[in-house]
Chains A and B, each alone.
Chain A
Amino acid sequence: MSILVYTESENGKLKKAALEVVSYAKAVADQMGTSVTAVAVNADNVESLGNYGASKVLLVKDDSLKDFNAKKYATVVAEAAKNEAAKVVVVSSSADSKYLAPLLAVNLEAGYVSNVIAAPSNVEPFTVKRSAFTNKAFANVEITTDVKIVGLSNNSYGLVESGGNASVEDFSPSIPESGVSVESVDKATDKVSIADAEIVVSGGRGLKGPENWGMIEELADVLGAATACSKPVSDLGWRPHSEHVGQTGKPVASNLYIAVGISGAIQHLAGINSSKVKVVINTDAEAPFFKAADYGVVGDAFEVVPQLIEKLKAFKASNA
């Protein structure tokens, strides 16, 4: 018996979310008196997972798994779980992990809880806290099946280095046929995605037009942040839909969320509420966002943002 964790990579490089799920799995393993086994697909440097608490890594190298495929990957993780007689399987909340987890749950006849935000409050019965009602509440959920799947909300647990070592074993499960194949991928490779970002800089209609996004991108660059936008901005076609955050867009769970020229409609706030620290910059002191934010600047974005960029550059230079 062990805790199995699925560690995602992109172009061979382990994602930050992979290190976070291993850190989390280590805490669960300690609670249950067992060890952590990671499963990785076509990833490099997987020994590094030892530092976050994995004692073993099952490494799959297979060209047929070059593109992510939910059914094939779910089978890989399921086979690894069976191999290890895992009682708990931990996955992240990336788009891909949320795609495969329900298939994995059916395959393993395991109860699955998504959007989990903390280590189990109890392992017998196994109980975890998750966000619900689009971040307006939390639910404490008991998983009653023998095998349990936990989907950890990104940035909710953080990275914990435990300084251990992991042994690496080759793993070659049989991969099923899948009726879904990737034709093309359209993705900005030089930009951090909203799901992976620790900081998100988001712009709203207060920016007046797509031609003014330069300063949002510059602010994001200085902070190493992802860029996002409000719904009206994506509806108007100023920015792509993939940047739209909110209830019907992408959820944001970053450490820092900076909203520029966004009034804070309830649907928007619902999607970004699980960000830890929220900053709002808006000309309208009555904007609802000020009630949801931790820090606010009442002022014109076109004056405040360039100043903020300049001050942050100076701050980075003096802290480099």
Chain B
Amino acid sequence: MKILVCISHVPDTTSKINFTDGDSKFDTNGVQFVINPNDEFGLTRAMWFKEKQGASVDVVNVGGAETEPTLRKALAIGADSAIRVNTEATDGFSVAKQLAKVVNDGGYDLVIAGRESIDYNGAMVPGMLAGMTGANYVTNCIGLEVDGTTVKAVREIDGGKETVNTSLPLIIGGQKGLVEESDLRIPNMRGIMMARKKPLKVIEPIEASAETKSVSFEKPAPKGAVKLVDADNIDELVSLLHNEAKVI
């Protein structure tokens, strides 16, 4: 089984979110970038398929050279090789278009992306990739078993989960639950050394114009201070929620 894991290069959760160029660009100054958490669960599940079922695992990112350390980290975790499509990721559609080319050219059986990135939260790349390649598609995936070309997957739905039967080729939108957080791997020294020698192929993009354009960013208005209610005066809390906040 040939697996491709899509890796998004995102600011670490604790990063300060600021914008530059007249609030038109994310300010990367002093920001540490990591593998998108939803992708990391998928990458770890892919490692399981590699170790238990002999799958090969490639990772891919659409982005500039600055994303290579993130791809190297995925190699250090255990992916076999990496591909970087050398273009700025502008919107979900154009990224999916670049990835569809990689998927078709590489003949991948299983593609695992995160259900969404934690920066733009678009939640659209895996679905668009499925639409473009015609592969089967399951998102919000919290369980994945492959036997030959037969697949059983579990999807988180509002208020519960559903189990579906499907088959390869398949695109997955992964998240926590695909593996548990305690299963995530921190690259060890040997992995890091080996990652330096693993292939990281840079390919030039195809023509794919964006369909949406972020024109400006803004931050939420600063929040007022919390209104504290005495633990012996819960009547006041009920009254505030009713009369002031008007939520009950």
Contact = CB atoms under 8 A, between A and B. Distances in A.
Interface of A: 70-71, 74, 94-96, 98-103, 105-107, 110-115, 127, 131-145, 178-188, 191-196, 198-199, 223, 231, 235, 241-242, 244, 247-250, 255-256, 266-267, 270, 273, 276-277, 279-280, 290-300, 303-304, 307-308, 311-312, 315
Q: Which 8 pairs from chain A and chain B are nearest by CB? A: A102-B127, A106-B131, A299-B231, A187-B160, A193-B159, A111-B211, A256-B247, A179-B136
Contact of B214 (A101, A140, A223, A266): A140
Name which of A94, A183, A194, A280 has the most chain B CB atoms within 10 A of its CB.
Answer: A183
B105 interface: no
Nearest to A143: B212
Given A112-B92, A248-B175, A248-B176, A279 B241 contact: yes
23 contacts: A74-B131, A102-B130, A105-B211, A114-B122, A132-B119, A136-B17, A142-B212, A142-B215, A180-B137, A183-B152, A184-B162, A187-B159, A192-B159, A193-B159, A193-B160, A235-B181, A247-B13, A266-B13, A280-B226, A293-B226, A294-B227, A296-B227, A311-B234
Nearest to B177: A241
A101 B123 CA distance: 9
Contacts of B181: 231, 235, 248
B163 A297 contact: no
Nearest to B132: A106
A145 B209 CA distance: 11
A78 B227 CA distance: 48
B219 interface: yes
B124 A295 contact: no
A105 B159 contact: no
Contact of B241 (A70, A142, A179, A295): A295
A122 B26 CA distance: 23
A314 B220 CA distance: 36
Given A137-B17, A137-B218, A235-B181, A194 B118 contact: no
Given A187-B159, A235-B182, A144 B210 contact: yes
Given A107-B131, A297-B234, A186 B160 contact: yes
B237 A295 contact: yes
B229 A297 contact: yes
Size class of the contact patch on chain B: 35 or more
A190 to B, nearest CB: 10
Contacts, number: 262
A102 B13 contact: no
Given A134-B118, A185-B162, A187-B160, A241 B234 contact: no
A8 B96 CA distance: 27
Nearest to B170: A179
Interface in B104-161: 118-128, 130-132, 136-140, 142, 152, 155-161
Contact of B176 (A100, A110, A249): A249
A137 B17 CA distance: 7
Contact of A140 (B215, B229, B238): B215
Contacts of A249: 176
B226 A294 contact: yes
Nearest to A107: B131
Given A180-B136, A315-B238, A297 B17 contact: no
A183 B165 contact: yes
Given A94-B158, A114-B124, A266-B13, A180 B215 contact: no
Contacts of B93: 105, 111-112
Name which of A140, A182, A198 has the most chain B CB atoms within 10 A of its CB.
Answer: A140
Given A127-B215, A139-B216, A308-B237, A96 B228 contact: no
A105 B128 contact: yes
B91 to A, nearest CB: 8
A267 B13 contact: yes
Given A295-B240, A312-B248, A182 B164 contact: yes
Interface in B232-246: 234-235, 237-238, 240-242, 245
Contact of B127 (A95, A101, A277): A101
A130 B11 CA distance: 19
A303 B231 contact: yes
Contacts of B121: 114-115, 131-134
Nearest to B162: A185
A274 B137 CA distance: 29
B14 interface: yes
B217 A139 contact: yes
Given A111-B212, A312-B248, A266 B14 contact: yes
A241 B120 contact: no
Nearest to A184: B163
A70 B138 CA distance: 9
Contact of B231 (A113, A185, A298, A315): A298
A180 B119 CA distance: 29
Contacts of A223: 248
Nearest to A224: B248
Nearest to B212: A111
B215 A277 contact: no
